[in-house]
Amino acid sequence: MTQLSFSVIIPTRGRPKSLAACLESLSDLDYPRDQFEVIVVDDGSEMPPREVVESFADRLDVVLLTQPHGGPASARNTGAARAKGEFLAFTDDDCTVAKDWLQALASRFAETNDVAIGGRTINALPGDPYATASQLIVDVVYAFYNADPDRARFVASNNLAVAKDHFIAVAGFDSSFSLASEDRDLCDRWLSQGYRITYAPEVVVHHSRPMSFAAFCRQHFSYGRGAFRFERARARRGSGGLIKELGFYRQLPRLVSRAFAEVHGRRAVLPGALLAVWQGANTAGFFWEWASQTRARLVSQSRSEPKIMNAPVETDQA
């Protein structure tokens, strides 16, 4: 069987140790070396990870691209523009891939290439309550949006693969999503243009991102800001609105209960509390972005309105 060619694209910024672990896992892939390349895109780090990337040059067909800081969506587009593979496989610098990652993707694409394939992300830090809570959130979101795996509606960009020509056809990631939700926006545009998304749980990456409470709050506040921008974007193009999300919140208690079946005892206490923080931070970010954009729009309107000057008063001096 002819092997499919892949370009693996990794955005990175200021995490050389995580990036090294990611590249190490790619060097261990059970896939022909001449059938995939790795494109690392540094998104404005103070010190681009040249030494890290060069240390894998004898084991991988790998290249480092650099750009000014523009966010992961912009970095992924930069990598895609340079890609030579027939298929693009996206992951993040804090992920490590399973040995059969590309082989599992190739098996799926052998059936059809007009789908976006999203794989399963597994928490690599089970002892970290913030990482555990993050995994629970992913599980809850996927249980709702991907209840029918062959008609999935959302897959995250840290484990996503598409045919390059279809990626170009939908104009790639929207780089204006510099904070978050660029993957939600891509999935929405992908579906609205008649393509399918498939959730493939056998396509596995492991996610390693230790966090503090403050970092957890900041992340989900940013996700809330990104969610507002996403709602504005899909409303403009007529592909949906916030009303579509009500089903998620109606089912949230049941989805959370099911996700917690994997977490037991005291290990469940803090992650459970963090799910409430998730919703609070997300809601706060959503309304903060709404207020910020509303304020900016009002300022812009006030500056563009014509100024009405008082006309001079004529007096009768006769």
Q: Which pLDDT score is estimated for 313?
A: 47
Q: Is residue 314 part of a domain?
A: no
Global confidence as pTM: 0.87
* Residue 209 buriedness (CB in 10 A; 0-12 / 13-18 / 19+): buried
Output the CA–CA distances (angstroms, integers) from residue 203 to 228, 247, 308, in the order listed: 30, 27, 64
Tell whether 44 is covered by a domain. Answer: yes
Q: Answer whether residue 311 is part of any domain.
A: no
Whether 223 maps to a domain, the answer reads yes
3-state secondary structure of 56: coil
Check residue 318 and give its pLDDT: 37
pLDDT < 70 positions in the chain: 1-2, 241-247, 249-250, 252-269, 271, 304-318
pLDDT (tens digit per residue) in 265-310:
445 567 678 888 888 898 999 898 889 888 877 777 777 666 555 5
The three-point CA angle 81-87-89 to 5° equals: 85
Three-state SS annotation for 259-300 = HHHHCCHHHHHHHHHHHHHHHHHHHHHHHHHHHHHHHHHHHH
Number of domains within the chain: 1
- From CA 255, how far away is CA 248, in angstroms rounded? 9
Crossing angle of the two packed helices 213-237 and 182-192, in degrees rounded to 10: 30
Tell me if 137 is assigned to some domain.
yes
pLDDT computed for residue 317 by the predictor: 45
Q: Domain of 73: which CATH number?
A: 3.90.550.10
Half-sphere exposure of 43 (CA within 13 A, CB side): 22
In DSSP notation, 69-118 reads S--HHHHHHHHHHH--SSEEEEE-TTEEE-TTHHHHHHHHHHH-SSEEEE
> What is the reported pLDDT for 315?
46
Per-residue pLDDT, 298: 78
At residue 258, the pLDDT reads: 63
36 with 102: CB under 8 angstroms?
Answer: yes
Residue 312 has what pLDDT?
A: 52
For the segment 92-126, what is each residue's pLDDT rounded down to a tens digit? 999 999 999 999 999 999 988 899 999 999 999 98
Owning domain of residue 63: 6-301
Q: CA torsion sign, 192 to 180 to 7 to 124? A: negative
Asked, for residue 308, whether it belongs to a domain, the answer is no
pLDDT of residue 178: 80
Q: What is the dihedral of CA 96, 99, 104, 106, to 10 degrees?
A: 90
Q: Could you give the angle at the alpha carbon of 223 between the alpha carbons of 218 and 229, nearest 5°?
A: 130
Beta strands in the chain (DSSP E): 6-12, 36-43, 62-67, 87-91, 95-97, 115-123, 159-163, 196-207
Q: Residue 29 domain-assigned?
A: yes
Q: Which amino acid is at 57?
A: A
Asked if the structure places residue 226 within a domain, the reply is yes
